[in-house]
Amino acid sequence: MKFNKKIKNLLIILVSTLALSACAAGKKSGVGSSDVYTGNDTVQYLASGVKDRVFFATNRSSLTTASRDTLRKQADWMRKNKKLNVVLEGHGDERGTREYNLALAEKRANAARDYLLTYGISGKRISVISYGKEKPVNSASTPLAWSQNRRAVTVKTK
Amino acid sequence: MSFAKDGNSDIYTMDLESRLVEKITEDSSIDTSPSYSPDGKYITFNSDRSGLQQIYTMKSDGSGVKRISFGEGLYGTPVWSPRGDLIAFTKVRGGKFYIGVMRSDGSGERLLTENFYQEAPSWSPNGRLLVFYRETKSGKNGEGFTAKLWSIDITGYNERELKTETDASDPSWSSLLSK
């Protein structure tokens, strides 16, 4: 009887521990890339197969695997077109304070810039500008619109 | 003031006589929206160094950084009251924007008004009212915004629109001016 009770208590502790660690892990991953836009509706192309923009999670400036793939293609395209310069425009969604969004959008554009630099593109060919939340590509107030607006767009300058 | 340099935003001070600019926060996170305490000894600002945007205070030389907001949601645009007792802020939680106040140690948080989007509170000189701006959808299909100024008593009562001929945003209430 006592033995059974001990096992029961151990099981309760084990289940509680597992539940708590699952909660912690869930919280961490939920903040990550779950709300990053993955469609192509707003995307334009710099050249065949070279998308002009990458998307971000809410309040985040880290690049997703898909974003890195897009930027690698942009770097290839820039290497083949050595006279081209670009502006990286950073943007945010409407669900944040304005000053913070200006800073966050700047950080997003710089994350994209830094990735292009690691693929051998000269920093002299890339300038960065932040528009914060002032230039949404989709002005609706929906999670889909917000995800499309959290972006860094590469724009040709010449 | 806050500057973005090398892709990151930090808080800086500028000596108005010498124009000497000095960086006073040193963090890879976003630090923006600084506001001095009335005695000039402290600065409040918002930062996402904890992972999400929260309110912090520090001494005016950048030392002694302390997080003061711990509630659910994001906190931004902190503004120190003229009497030094309260900090007004914008809070984003559950898809809504709130204007609220808390004591300068972060205790006693009170949310005064909620809306779809509003921010940037500024104190009246007597520390009894806040003015801020609110945007509402203007188009039939939800496109476009109208921005208007609103004021509210720090008790949470007497919320009212300050009529302006055109759209208006980012109000800043002056200190008492001598006539």
Rg (CA), chain A: 21
Asked if residue A10 belongs to a domain, the reply is no
Number of domains in chain A: 1
Sign of CA dihedral A9, A14, A15, A20: positive
Residues of B in contact with A115 (CB under 8 A): none
What are the tens digits of pLDDT across the range B131-165? Answer: 999 998 777 666 678 999 999 999 999 999 999 99
Among B30, B53, B134, B137, the strongest candidate for a mutation testing the A interface, having the largest count of A CBs within 10 A, is B30
C-alpha B26/C-alpha B30 separation (Å) is 10
Report the pLDDT averaged over residues A87-100: 95
Q: Do A96 and B46 touch (CB under 8 A)?
A: no
Asked if residue A150 belongs to a domain, the reply is yes
Q: Are B151 and B159 in contact (CB under 8 A)?
A: yes
C-alpha B107/C-alpha A131 separation (Å) is 34
Residue A113 has pLDDT above 80, yes or no: yes
Asked if residue A15 belongs to a domain, the reply is no
Q: Where are the domains of chain B?
A: 2-162
Among B5, B27, B32, the strongest candidate for a mutation testing the A interface, having the largest count of A CBs within 10 A, is B32
C-alpha B78/C-alpha B104 separation (Å) is 10
Asked if residue A120 belongs to a domain, the reply is yes
Instruction: State pTM to two decimals.
Output: 0.85
| CATH class of the domain at B2-162 | mainly beta
Token output for A98: 């304005």
Residue A4 has pLDDT above 70, yes or no: no
What are the tens digits of pLDDT across the range B93-106? Answer: 998 999 999 999 99
Q: Considering only the beta carbons, identify the residue of B8, B53, B144 that sits closest to A100.
A: B53
Share of chain B above pLDDT 70, in %: 97
Residues of B in contact with A114 (CB under 8 A): 7
Residues of B in contact with A113 (CB under 8 A): 7
A113, closest residue in chain B (CA to CA): B7
Q: Are A128 and A109 in contact (CB under 8 A)?
A: yes
CATH of the domain at A146: 3.30.1330.60
Give residue A95's domain range: 45-156
C-alpha B120/C-alpha B103 separation (Å) is 18
C-alpha A53/C-alpha A56 separation (Å) is 10
C-alpha B89/C-alpha B113 separation (Å) is 11
B129 touches chain A (CB under 8 A): no
Q: Are B68 and B56 in contact (CB under 8 A)?
A: yes
DSSP structural state of residue A61: -
What are the tens digits of pLDDT across the range A13-71? Answer: 444 443 433 333 333 333 334 799 999 999 999 999 999 999 999 999 999 999 999 99
B120, closest residue in chain A (CA to CA): A97
**Residue appearing with tokens 């767009």:** A153
Confidence (pLDDT) at A7: 54
A59, closest residue in chain B (CA to CA): B52
**Residue appearing with tokens 């921005």:** B147
Residue B118, strand partner residues? B134
Q: Are B77 and A99 in contact (CB under 8 A)?
A: yes
- Tell me what the pLDDT averaged over chain B comes to: 93
C-alpha B125/C-alpha B83 separation (Å) is 8
C-alpha A122/C-alpha A82 separation (Å) is 10
